[in-house]
Structure 1
Amino acid sequence: MVSAVRTVLGDVLPGQLGVCDAHDHLFFGSPRLPGQELCDAASARAELAAFREQGGASVVQWTPYGLGRRAADLPLLSRDTGVHVVAATGLHQAEHYAPELLTGLRGRLAEVFVAELTRGIGTTRVRAGLIKVAGGFHALDAHARWTVTAAAEAHHATGAPVAVHLELGTGALDVLDLLCGELGVPPHRVILGHLNRSPDPVVQRQAAEAGAYLAFDGPSRAHHATDWRMPDAVRALAEAGFGHRLLLGGDTTTAGARSVNGGPGMPYLLRRVRPRLEVALGRELVERVLVENPGRAFAVEWL
């Protein structure tokens, strides 16, 4: 088995990622967030540089197909800042897209994912390193089942990991039942995002027991109560033996949330969240979550 993380500048060994923001966005645009698009390359460069100044070494961009990934810009940003960047293929919830775009993808979604993982995104040679899809609110609607099924097919063809947006942190076990139970994706190839938005310790424990990675992403969002509950949740999972399954990310999705625009942005993860977790959990565990775990979680595995 060969294992490497597929960055926008090429494959690197899992141990070369360094301190990793496991879920964030350099570019992102959705009709759900008018006027808050992440579409400016200069701001993206400044944000990456600010993250680098805090000790950051890699960022996994979860922006999927059709939401303004700006794949052609990612290699230059990575070179300029010295930060590894991993790009995504995949598809978000239906409400983020025009109906005609989704209609055009019918019957070929998995093919699109595989092409972006193996040949390049759009007309670029930038290959995606993960597949990002989304569940629904407490359940899986028809769109979610379609995209998750395509993601599983693409995983089996390429060995790429599958990252899942959980709507308000819900539906994790339904996602695992479909993705791993019915569709045969190994649980350790699945990253569940936003479980901290619905901080149910029983569900978190069950997801970890199933073998999936749990991404505690989106810190600083007070309405999700993420920051003050995160240390207790991470400690409970680590004490139960699942410290090797935990990831941390920032999930910056709007221009106003960027540090260069006065928001917390990518640096907040290392500037505020990391020291708080080190006090609560110890440096060794936090180092593992930020450095060791992402290399395994985001590695592309093939024979």
Structure 2
Amino acid sequence: MSNDAQDSAATVTTVLGPIPAAELGVTAISEALISALPGAEYAPDISMDRSEIFAEAAAALTAFRQAGGSTVVDTTGMFHGRDVKLSEALSRDTGVHIVASTGMGPEELLGGYFLTPQTNPPTPWPAEKFADLFAKEITEGMVVPRVERRGPAGLVVTAAARSGMTPTEESLFRGSARTALSTGVPVIARFGADPVADLGHLLDEGLPAERAVIAGLDCTDVDPAAVASVLDQGAIILFDHVGTETDGWLSDDARADLISEHIANGRGKQILLSSSATGAARGTEANPIGFGYVLTDFLPRLFERGVAEDAARGLVTSNPHTLLARH
């Protein structure tokens, strides 16, 4: 089979079922459809009214579609507000494809069950247990607590603490890589203290580098040499706070300069962009920048720097399409 035929046959798992990768259109690759800190549902000052949450998220998705967007990838994982049934309803109502994720991390945001040693002597959850947990959410459907499995996830996500990876987080990274290998989905991993070492945990499990995404690389304290190393190993880099210019993040002009340089050096197919925008937030501050910011506000900065339109638009079309396609 030719590469073109393989591309045309590739599918991506959305909350409403598989679709051809070519139908994804403009894709916001790493956003939060609903962002809620675990426990927010018990806070008396926070409204968890589902109709309110639906209305907020639907408005954000509709604005994205009106700006030319087609697909939103929700990378919040299992414990940060994911609502499978609500995601299905939002996709049907707005016409925007939604790709949901399994996975969890960093350790400080895990549920207590996953932090309780269940061996003697006590040890963190092993990678194989996380791999089994995540893989079933992809092959059998995401868990709707106490009800059923429903709607499979389309990727696995994880994260490490910025202070440095813990043993549990190493299990999460290795379990995520094993999940990707067994199911054909990619991994998006937010690095901890060392992006190169954290990528190494994924690659050590045999995950092809092109199926591994290292996120959070538009922080001001990231060593450019580390970014270069991630690229040299064939992995994907994700600048996932486009539009955020405070609190340790690069300015958009600095992002545009770096991305233009990487594209000029032939690395354009290894770059992804997102804003980590939120449709609705509870118990945590919303990022109201909008799912379409990269498309409408950031890509023009690349055009101004001489980046060809097809190369710039590939950052929100062909690059995420290739990543999300099941292998």
- The TM-score with structure 1 as length reference comes to 0.89
Match of residue 102, structure 1, among 102, 108, 115? 115
Deviation at 1:37, TM superposition (A): 9.4
Match of 1:130 in 2: 155
Matched residue of 1:211: which SS?
coil
2:232 matches 1:209: yes
Alpha-carbon distance in structure 1 between the residues aligned to 2:168 and 2:253: 34
Summarize deviations over 1:38-62 as a string: whole Å, max 9, x none: 9712111110001111111111110
Alpha-carbon distance in structure 2 between the residues aligned to 1:166 and 1:81: 33
Contact 1:93 1:144 in 2 (8 A): yes
Match of residue 92, structure 2, among 79, 84, 87? 79
Match of 1:163 in 2: 188
Q: Residues 154 and 277 from structure 1, CA distance in 2 versus in 1: closer, same or farther, beyond 3 angstroms?
A: same
Segments of structure 2 that go 5 or more residues without pairing to the other structure are 1-5, 119-124
Q: Residues 171 and 37 from structure 1, CA distance in 2 versus in 1: closer, same or farther, beyond 3 angstroms?
A: farther
- Aligned-residue sequence identity (percent) comes to 29
Contact 1:196 1:216 in 2 (8 A): yes
Match of 2:196 in 1: 173
Match of residue 220, structure 1, among 232, 243, 248? 243
Summarize deviations over 1:201-244 as a string: whole Å, max 9, x none: 32222211111111111122222124121111101111111101
Which range moves more in the overlay, 24-33 or 155-164?
Answer: 24-33
Match of 1:119 in 2: 140
Alpha-carbon distance in structure 2 between the residues aligned to 1:247 and 1:206: 16
The within-5 A match list for 1:192-207 is 192-197=214-219, 198-207=221-230
The structure with the largest helix share of the pair is 1
2:5 matches 1:5: no
State the number of aligned residues.
Answer: 294
Alpha-carbon distance in structure 1 between the residues aligned to 2:102 and 2:237: 20
Alpha-carbon distance in structure 1 between the residues aligned to 2:231 and 2:254: 17
Q: Residues 130 and 37 from structure 1, CA distance in 2 versus in 1: closer, same or farther, beyond 3 angstroms?
A: farther
Which letter does structure 2 place at the counterpart of 1:165? R
Alpha-carbon distance in structure 2 between the residues aligned to 1:211 and 1:5: 22
Match of residue 72, structure 2, among 43, 46, 59? 59
Q: Residues 81 and 184 from structure 1, CA distance in 2 versus in 1: closer, same or farther, beyond 3 angstroms?
A: same
Matched residue of 2:150: which SS?
coil
- The TM-score with structure 2 as length reference comes to 0.82
Q: Residues 282 and 36 from structure 1, CA distance in 2 versus in 1: closer, same or farther, beyond 3 angstroms?
A: farther
Contact 2:38 2:80 in 1 (8 A): no
Q: Residues 138 and 179 from structure 1, CA distance in 2 versus in 1: closer, same or farther, beyond 3 angstroms?
A: farther
| Pair member with larger Rg | 2
Which letter does structure 1 place at the counterpart of 2:245? A
Contact 1:28 1:37 in 2 (8 A): no
Contact 1:116 1:128 in 2 (8 A): yes
2:208 matches 1:191: no
Q: Residues 37 and 89 from structure 1, CA distance in 2 versus in 1: closer, same or farther, beyond 3 angstroms?
A: farther
Match of 2:121 in 1: none
